[in-house]
Structure 1
């Protein structure tokens, strides 16, 4: 058995701070979206990614990877968005097992209605609290971490 390389006090403080900020920010943004627009943060992310995709459609598997949720959670969220008329599923001709999620005009309208309030909340709870230099540093740090996590095939 390998010896554990425990976190020192500084690393422990940073780690716990990261966990707290991540949780608090997601909870605050999710609660605001649900209260104001009736979307969860995940549903909002689905609509955003579909709005940015070519033809406003994505394969369900790719959408799950992009939104960073399990296929079953994505399916549940898309079903809810379908019931509201914001998304529809289409079968994939190239792969009978696959399907497309397609943003409807109603979904685009709902997203456009929700976006200004959401962006204001992101700005108020993240960017307005940081200096320009801190935003640049945070961006660099997030890029390094994301690249490492996405490139880690052992996970």
Structure 2
């Protein structure tokens, strides 16, 4: 394990600013999605993930891996989405069902995605600007790679 070190005051301020930005922006976007389209952020994540999959379908286990959700959380959420007609379960190969994006789910996504994208542009992309956006993308890629490296080496959490 890495030597435990306290964060400096500057590091602490940067970390807290990042958390505040991420939390505030994420909550704000989710509140709009809920109010305007009746979708939670989790609903949107599932709809987007399925819309990008071959045939708009994925094995439940693969969907869980893509979203990094625990099996029980995914199962309960998919049950609620199926009841609303956004997705359906179909028999798949092996023991896991396929999760399929329905026409209703796709139509819902096609209605809300452009509105969400415009809001992301207004509140994030345009605020950050092209130069800082490229820097941020590089930073995000590096952080994700560091987390993946940690998961694959000395992380005690189950995969």
TM (norm. structure 2) is 0.89
Q: Distance in 2 between matches of 1:123 and 1:20?
A: 19
Q: Distance in 1 between matches of 2:69 and 2:24?
A: 19
Structure 2: where are the runs of 5+ without partners?
none
**Conserved? CA contact 1:42–1:67, under 8 Å:** no
CA shift digits 1:127-152 (9 cap, x unpaired): 11112110000000000011111232
The answer for the alignment partner of 1:45 in structure 2 is: 45
User: How do 1:21-60 and structure 2 match up within 5 A?
Assistant: 21-60=21-60
TM-superposed CA distance for 1:70, in Å, is: 2.0
Q: What is the aligned-residue RMSD (CA, Å)?
A: 1.5
Q: 1:136 to 1:3 in 2, by over 3 A?
A: closer
Q: Distance in 2 between matches of 1:127 and 1:79?
A: 34
* Matched residue SS, 1:89: strand
The answer for the alignment partner of 1:84 in structure 2 is: 84
User: How do 1:138-153 and structure 2 match up within 5 A?
Assistant: 138-152=136-150, 153=152
The answer for the alignment partner of 2:106 in structure 1 is: 108
**Conserved? CA contact 1:56–1:103, under 8 Å:** yes
**How many matched pairs?**
152
* Matched residue SS, 1:6: coil
The answer for the alignment partner of 2:67 in structure 1 is: 67
